[in-house]
Amino acid sequence: MEEDLLKEKEKLLKEKTVETMEKYSGGIINVKVAQVKLPDGKTSRREVVEHPGAAAVIAEHEQKIPLLLQYRYPTGEALLEIPAGKIDKGEAPEDCARREMLEETGYAVEGKLKLLTKFYTSPGFCDEVIYLYYADEIEKKSDLTGDSEENLHLLMLSREEILSMLKDNRIKDAKTIIGLQWLLNGGW
Amino acid sequence: MEEDLLKEKEKLLKEKTVETMEKYSGGIINVKVAQVKLPDGKTSRREVVEHPGAAAVIAEHEQKIPLLLQYRYPTGEALLEIPAGKIDKGEAPEDCARREMLEETGYAVEGKLKLLTKFYTSPGFCDEVIYLYYADEIEKKSDLTGDSEENLHLLMLSREEILSMLKDNRIKDAKTIIGLQWLLNGGW
């Protein structure tokens, strides 16, 4: 697959904004509706959820992987997820990753973070990007987990436990599945 | 990790709805804001994007994997994605997977679909669930790809090309990364 061919095709697919209407402005998300011009000249309507983006960290410490059980109101259930959180205004994604790791697990990232990938969670209607990092060294600093608005329960799980949970679909969060597959498979 | 312990912890984390306000009702998504009661008795506010859910298919045909290059307006770029689409009202996720495969690629799923996992794309603010299937047999039926509102370009890529693209982060869509990791790694 030639990179040039891909760029060429991408140009042909581009949709141009005709008009944008703000529909909702909230604490975390904004919603806009755009009228767009398609490559064939027709027009269509696109709903867009704007999100500040997030950073997430997959790590391993003494052969255990930190996961958080967190109640996710939109889903009506508690999910097992890798440490992650929204990027603050002006914050570098890597700083966000370090901050969330410490806030949510009480473990500090020692040394470097490796960016594994950045991806869109749901590009059909949302611009959210998640920066996914690997921390090869973390160290316990505190027993506190979460902030006042988050109710978290930290679990340190073995690779065997996690593999079993992936197979049984007891892990149900996209970023977590991507990070765990990367770790369990020893890379891409 | 005991399943019972997990259920017990989940109960303790539950957030109860006090009041819900509709903020936006659109073609694909709705937005609501809920006032919730946290386990410690405090209240908080949750923004929820409601989405009908989607189905996606990872497949391989003559050692090539079908991916679609599609312009994704919210992201401002064209992304490489596995065939996927929204579940119609009343439609079974598996029927949606078969329909989208045919509509988007011109290939029909022959025989069974295997459900690999279902996951939330962004559970912090959205209820979207994606059902991810594996089709071990597909057959070319048509040269048409996409519907009138979709501008798609079908690519049939080898495992080597895809591995290189995963490593270089040229694949940037969560469901696509999950499906490709599963296939390239020979399962979970």
- Least CB-CB distance to A128: which of B71, B122, B155? B122
CA separation (Å) from A14 to A11, B67, B69, B76, B153? 5, 18, 11, 8, 12
In chain B, which residues have their Cβ closer than 8 Å to the Cβ of A27?
45, 47
pLDDT at A146 over 90: no
A92 min Cα distance to partner chain B (Å): 19
Chain pair A-B, CB pairs under 8 angstroms: 233
- Annotated domain spans of chain A: 3-50, 54-184
pLDDT, tens only, A58-93: 999 999 999 999 999 999 999 999 999 999 999 999
Domain range B54-184, CATH architecture: Alpha-Beta Complex (3.90)
- B24: how many CB neighbours lie within 10 A of its CB? 18
pLDDT at B1 over 60: no
Q: Which of A23-27, A66-70, B146-150 bottoms out in mean pLDDT, i.e. has the lowest?
A: B146-150
B61: DSSP letter = B
The three-point CA angle B84-B181-B171 to 5° equals 60
Res B71: pLDDT: 95
In chain B, which residues have their Cβ closer than 8 Å to the Cβ of A12?
151, 153
Res A8: pLDDT: 79
In chain B, which residues have their Cβ closer than 8 Å to the Cβ of A185?
181, 185
3-state secondary structure of A185: coil
Strands B65-72 and A43-50: unpaired
pLDDT, tens only, B40-98: 899 999 999 999 999 999 999 999 999 999 999 999 999 999 999 999 999 999 999 99
CB contact under 8 A, B74 and A48: yes
Nearest residue of A to residue B2, measured between CA atoms? A161
Res B145: pLDDT: 72
Gap between the Cα atoms of A59 and A107, Å rounded: 10
- Least CB-CB distance to A174: which of B29, B33, B120? B120
- B20: how many CB neighbours lie within 10 A of its CB? 13
- B27: how many CB neighbours lie within 10 A of its CB? 10
Gap between the Cα atoms of B109 and B142, Å rounded: 13
- Least CB-CB distance to A39: which of B125, B151, B184? B151
pLDDT interval class at B149 (50, 70, 90) = low
CB contact under 8 A, B6 and A47: no
In chain A, which residues have their Cβ closer than 8 Å to the Cβ of B121?
121-122, 174
pLDDT interval class at B147 (50, 70, 90) = low
Res A17: pLDDT: 97
CB contact under 8 A, B167 and A182: no
Q: Per-residue DSSP letters for B85-141?
A: EEPPTT--HHHHHHHHHHHHHSEEEPS-EEEEEEEES-TTTB--EEEEEEES-EEE-
A73: DSSP letter = G
What average pLDDT does range B135-139 have in this prediction?
96
What average pLDDT does range B103-115 have in this prediction?
96
* Residue reference for tokens 């940037």: B172
pLDDT, tens only, B2-35: 677 777 777 888 999 999 999 999 999 999 999 9
- Least CB-CB distance to A77: which of B10, B33, B185? B10
pLDDT at A96 over 80: yes
A25: DSSP letter = E
CB contact under 8 A, B120 and A169: no
